[in-house]
């Protein structure tokens, strides 16, 4: 009985040693694997307008500056909300802040502040006309972009282009290296939006008060590029 027990114990030890060796044995590096990437690009007309209006105030005390900014912003919001329509003209407030003004002696000698209002949507005419009616804020920035609907519409097309290019390149590489086919090992898909041309136009806050009052601001959107990149690795066979 003792001999049989010893044999069983020895067998168990050998089995454990074999398992440990299997776990620590070096794993061979994959062979005949190629990394590659491909890009699909679709150009589309920008359909989203983001128009920012702002005003700045100065006074000897912070309370006065805050009150003046609040009055200007309240009046602008009241006017803008009259024309608001979801997706076509959305209204939201931007940064609102007060900052101390320092003299040459390093002491506070006054306060200044700034408030912003943002008009955003796909109805350019409605947005610019509304901006022209606002008397208490001046146009600060005009920018364009793509709505979610426009982006989603062309993103699928760009993705299809990228995938087809990826597959074609993988096939060409496999044949070039003397293989008849390939299999996909891993892949990642990323998308982004590029807006060629000049950056969003900035405008002086004081410029609109007289010249743009009660008139629509002329704007013209450009085109954006929706780019999808497909990258990964393939196993040549």
**Exposure string for 154-191, b = 16+ CB within 10 A, e = fewer:** bbeebbebbbebbeeebeeebeeeebeebeeeeeeeee
Q: What is the pTM (predicted TM-score) of this model? A: 0.68
Domain contains 74 = yes
Containing domain of residue 97, as a range?
Answer: 48-145+200-222
Query: Each residue of 77-110: pLDDT tens digit?
Result: 999 999 999 999 999 999 999 999 998 999 999 9
φ/ψ of residue 3, rounded to 5: -65, -40
For residue 36 the two structure tokens come to 């590659």
Domain contains 187 = no
Sheet strand arrangement including 108-121: 90-102, 108-121, 48-59, 138-145, 201-202
Domain contains 188 = no
Residue 14 has pLDDT above 50, yes or no: no
> Count of domains in the chain?
1
Per the listing, tokens 């003397």 go with 178
Domain contains 135 = yes
For residue 58 the two structure tokens come to 């100065």
Distance CA 131, CA 82 (A): 12
Report which of residues 130 and 3 the model is more confident about: 130
Q: Of 4, 40, 218, which Cα lies nearest the Cα of 124?
A: 218
Taking residues 190-216, report their average pLDDT. Answer: 53
> Is 129 within 8 Å of 215 (Cβ atoms)?
no
Residue 168 has pLDDT above 50, yes or no: yes
Domain contains 208 = yes
Distance CA 116, CA 210 (A): 19
Report which of residues 129 and 210 the model is more confident about: 129
Report which of residues 187 and 10 the model is more confident about: 187
Residue 210 pLDDT? 41
> Is 194 within 8 Å of 223 (Cβ atoms)?
no
Domain contains 93 = yes
Percentage of the chain beyond pLDDT 70 is: 78
Domain contains 159 = no
> Is 155 within 8 Å of 120 (Cβ atoms)?
no
Domain contains 206 = yes
The CATH code of the domain that includes 104 is 3.30.70
Residue 13 pLDDT? 44
Residue 24 pLDDT? 54
């Amino acid at each position: 009985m003792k001999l049989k027990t010893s044999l069983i114990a020895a067998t168990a030890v050998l089995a454990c040693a074999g398992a440990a060796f299997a776990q620590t044995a070096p794993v061979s590096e994959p062979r005949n694997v190629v990394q590659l990437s491909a890009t699909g690009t679709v150009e589309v007309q920008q359909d989203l307008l983001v128009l920012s209006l702002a005003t700045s105030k100065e006074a000897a005390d912070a309370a006065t500056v805050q009150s003046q900014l609040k009055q200007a912003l309240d009046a602008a919001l009241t006017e803008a909300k009259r024309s608001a329509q979801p997706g076509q003209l959305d209204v939201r407030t931007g940064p609102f802040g007060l900052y101390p003004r320092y003299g040459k002696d390093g002491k506070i000698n006054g306060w200044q502040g700034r408030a912003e209002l943002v008009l955003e949507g796909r109805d350019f005419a409605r947005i610019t006309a509304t901006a022209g009616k606002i008397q208490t804020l001046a146009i600060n920035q005009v920018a364009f972009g793509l709505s979610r609907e426009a982006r989603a519409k062309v993103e699928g097309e760009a993705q299809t282009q990228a995938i087809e290019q990826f597959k074609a390149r993988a096939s060409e590489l496999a044949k070039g290296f003397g293989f008849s086919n390939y299999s996909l090992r891993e892949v990642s898909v990323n998308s982004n939006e590029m807006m060629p041309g000049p950056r969003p136009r900035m405008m002086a806050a004081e410029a609109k008060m007289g010249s743009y009052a009660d008139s629509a601001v002329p704007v013209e959107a450009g085109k954006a590029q929706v780019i999808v990149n497909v990258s990964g690795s393939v196993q040549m066979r």
